[in-house]
Structure 1
Amino acid sequence: MTETVISRQPHRSIVAFLPVGLFGSTMGLTGLSVAWRQAQIRYEAPPLIADTIGLVALLTFAALVIGYAAKVMTAPAAVVAEFRHPVAGNLFGTVFISLLLIPIVLAPYSLLLAQAIWLIGAVGMVVFAWTIVSRWMSDRQVVAHATPAWIVPVVGMLDLPLALPSLGLPPMHGVMVLGLAVGLFFAIPIFTLVFSRLLFEEPLPPALQPSLMILIAPFAVGFSTYVVTTGQIDLLAESLYVLSLFMLVVLVGRLRHAATCCPFNVSWWAISFPLAATAIAGIRFATAAASSVADVIALLLLGFATLAVLALLARTLWGMARGELAAMSS
């Protein structure tokens, strides 16, 4: 029934269903490419794997930019409503996070283009984070709206420094500290607020259950950002990494039945980037620790993230081919 209705609507109506949260697929694919590039250095993995995943990430991002630009032009009211939504509005951060991560993949091939994209993403991320924090402080918020999506602007600021070591830009220690400080500072109250909402309010709807995996991101990304900014793995870095592992085990147990009880939609992509970020953190930690146990954990994380992202990509493409974009966006 849904497929028949969609097929009879004009193209502009189909584009109107495109959710901004689908940019989370670019985040997950790019993060996975970076993880395999780390594995190439640490474990001599074939470079073709990282390059192929990176290419898919770039093509996905380009397709989403074209599609969402069409949505802006043909359905501006839908875009405004999406941005003003107390939950979905936070997912606009996935666009800027993608712009901050893509330069890591692009840098070996076009350093100038990578630098330009990072600058756009950095400015956009700071402005977006400021806008969202101002929104939170300006209006009375509803506790039920405090979902894991609220963490996205925080994670976006933590992503600010990650590409800088590979971009060849002038020293930007202040920018790196800005991303680390704002990201970690706001991660604490936002995580506490979301966790409190999960404890004392009604459970998340089944369609939003996979977004719980976002709760890992502040710790996994925070670890990498801290290491990139300070150049060392100290007690705080180790603590962030261990916290990401602890949250991963908790949430995997919590979501072990999600595939059978939660309908597939865009929110499923929320698991991709946290898993990729945890794999990156695992390989970074294993490189510094030089421990066989750390290596085993890192390889398990990488394998889990790879299987999850490939499954999400296949399911999304299959659904779009069957005309299920509207259903996956609900």
Structure 2
Amino acid sequence: MAFKAPSPTPKGLWRRTPPAVFPPTLGLLGLALGWRRGMGEFALPPGLADMLLGAVTLFALFALLTYAVKFMRRPAVVLEDLKILPGRAGLATLVLSVYLLAAVFAPLSPEQARPILLAGIVMHLALTGAVIWGFAHGPAEQRRVSPVWHLMFTGWIVAANSALVLGLFNLAIGLFWVSLFAAVGIWTASLQQFSRESVPAPLRPFLAIHLAPVALLGSAAQSLGAQGIAQVFAIGALMLVVLFGLRIRWLLAGGFTPFWGAFTFPLAATANFWLLMGGFWRLPGAVMLVGATVLILPIAFRIFKLWANGQLAVKSNAAIA
């Protein structure tokens, strides 16, 4: 009896764009924004930061285009990508990248940045609805609380910080409180889980995501004039950075995987936050910005190299449109 060969992947451009490309893309956007803020700390020409922002923005727009093509070929592919952890993390960071694009354009053209921010909010609402629908109709494993939940449910704080850059203070305040309540709930549930069971080595890089809401909530608090709250978050961020530094061998025990993209944005967000705080935090922010650059660039390069040679979609089990 003859056996039929497996059906090949349908021909067509970007049918299997992996969502896993977006965590490092988000990290690069955050890093470029950090250098925009930090140029004065290093007495460097502002044009260098603009060049970096321009290059990263073009790449982010290209990555968004590739997933948009995949989505337009078969919109239901989003629900398939959301069934797995790398897909949920990737699509959440896709939306957060839109918010950072609004922050990139805000000083240059607020009139163009506001529609970008609005588009991100609409996408975020739609994606959150799709995630909740998947939780309700999918297996129980999908409903397990993980650091990736921060990207979806606490990710509104990225929109809040972009809204602050655009002067939309009332919107930012509302998003701040929504994000804070979500973050506290996720931190509480994560601590309870962590006390009962260990984290498998391949998933440990995702723990770095817990740092991102600390830095972003602190940034929003500082921009809103709540310096006391911001100081608490700054100390909390420092404690997490030290903890992760002490446990780095444990975090990286699983070896390099596309999940390492989870390290990129939290590092950039922390550098941004400490530089924004100024004063005592000016030097830690400068050191973190340099350290984040040294770490983020090679991680992003390795992940993008996997994307270029077609391995990233396979390794992250991306859906096919």
What's the TM-score once normalised by structure 1's chain length?
0.82
The reply to whether residue 201 of structure 1 matches residue 197 of structure 2 is yes
Deviations 1:170-207 (A, max 9, x none): x633211111001001101111212322331242341x
AA aligned to 1:249 is: V
Structure 1's 90 and 298: CA in aligned 2 closer, same or farther, altered over 3 A?
closer
Q: What is the identity, as a one-letter code, of the residue corresponding to 1:216?
A: L
Q: Quick check: 1:233 aligned with 2:220?
A: no
Q: Matched residue of 2:155: which SS?
A: helix
- Relative distance call for 1:139 and 1:17 in structure 2 (3 A) is closer
Q: Write the distance in 1 (CA, Å) between the matches of 2:113 and 2:288.
A: 28
**Which residue is 2:3 aligned to?**
none
C-alpha distance in structure 2 between counterparts of 1:49 and 1:137, whole Å: 47
In the alignment, is the contact (CA less than 8 A) between 2:204 and 2:251 conserved in 1? yes
Q: Check whether the contact 2:148–2:206 (CA below 8 A) recurs between aligned residues.
A: yes
Q: Which residue of 2 aligns with 1:122?
A: 121
Corresponding position of 2:265: 273
Asked if 1:307 is matched to 2:276, the reply is: no
Give yes or no for contact 2:154–2:182 (8 Å, CA) kept in 1.
Answer: no
User: 209, 214, 217: which is aligned to 1:222?
Assistant: 217
Residue by residue over 1:58-115, the C-alpha shift from the partner in whole angstroms, topping out at 9 and shown as x without a partner, is 1222221221123224454543212344774354321221111112212344433222
The residue type equivalent to 1:199 in the other structure is: S
Distance across 2 between alignment mates of 1:252 and 1:296: 18
| 1:179 and 2:175 correspond | yes
What aligned pairs does 1:1-330 form with structure 2 within 5 A after superposition? 11-12=11-12, 15-74=14-73, 76-85=75-84, 88-89=87-88, 91-129=90-128, 132=131, 141-142=140-141, 145-167=144-166, 172-206=168-202, 208-228=203-223, 230-234=224-228, 236-256=229-249, 261-265=254-258, 267-285=259-277, 287=278, 289=279, 291=280, 294-330=281-317
1-structure distance, mates of 2:174, 2:134: 20
Contact 1:143 1:197 in 2 (8 A): no
Residue 327 of structure 1 deviates from its aligned partner by 4.0
Q: How many residues align?
A: 310
| Change in CA separation of 1:58 and 1:259 when aligned onto 2, cut-off 3 Å | same
The sequence identity of aligned pairs, in percent, is 25
Query: Measured at CA, do residues 23 and 326 of structure 1 come closer, stay the same or move farther in structure 2, by a change above 3 Å?
Result: closer
Taking the aligned partners of 1:84 and 1:185, their CA distance within structure 2 comes to 25
CA–CA distance in structure 2, aligned partners of residues 215 and 308 of structure 1: 18
Secondary structure in structure 1 of the residue aligned to 2:282: helix
Mark the runs of 5 or more structure 2 residues left unpaired by the alignment.
1-7
* Partner secondary structure for residue 160 of structure 2: coil
Matches of 1:240 and 1:138, distance apart in 2: 36
d(CA) in 2 for partners of 1:87, 1:315 = 16
Shift in alpha-carbon separation, 1:31–1:145, aligned structure 2, 3 A: same
In structure 1, the residue matched to 2:4 is none
C-alpha separation in 2, matches of 1:282 and 1:38? 11
Q: Which moved more, 1:301-310 or 1:142-151?
A: 142-151
How much has 1:16 moved relative to structure 2? 4.2
Counterpart for residue 5 of structure 2: none
Shift of 1:10: 5.3
d(CA) in 2 for partners of 1:42 and 1:193? Answer: 38
- Please state how far the C-alpha of 1:213 moved relative to its aligned partner: 0.6
Give 1:201's aligned amino acid: E
Larger RCO, structure (CA 8 Å, separation 6 or more): 2
AA at the equivalent of 2:67: Y
For residues 144 and 138 of structure 1, the distance between their equivalents in structure 2, rounded to whole angstroms, comes to 10
| One-letter amino acid of the structure 1 residue matched with residue 118 of structure 2 | L
Rounded to whole Å, the distance in 2 between the matches of 1:260 and 1:163 is: 35
Deviations 1:16-63 (A, max 9, x none): 442324222232111111111111244433323322331232122222
- After superposition, the CA RMSD in angstroms is 2.9
Judge which range, 92-101 or 176-185, deviates more. 92-101
Cα 1:216–1:151 shift into 2, 3 Å: same
Q: Is the 8 A contact 1:180 1:222 kept in 2?
A: yes
Provide the C-alpha distance between the structure 2 equivalents of 1:199 and 1:106, rounded to a whole number of angstroms.
43
Letter in 1 for 2:257: F
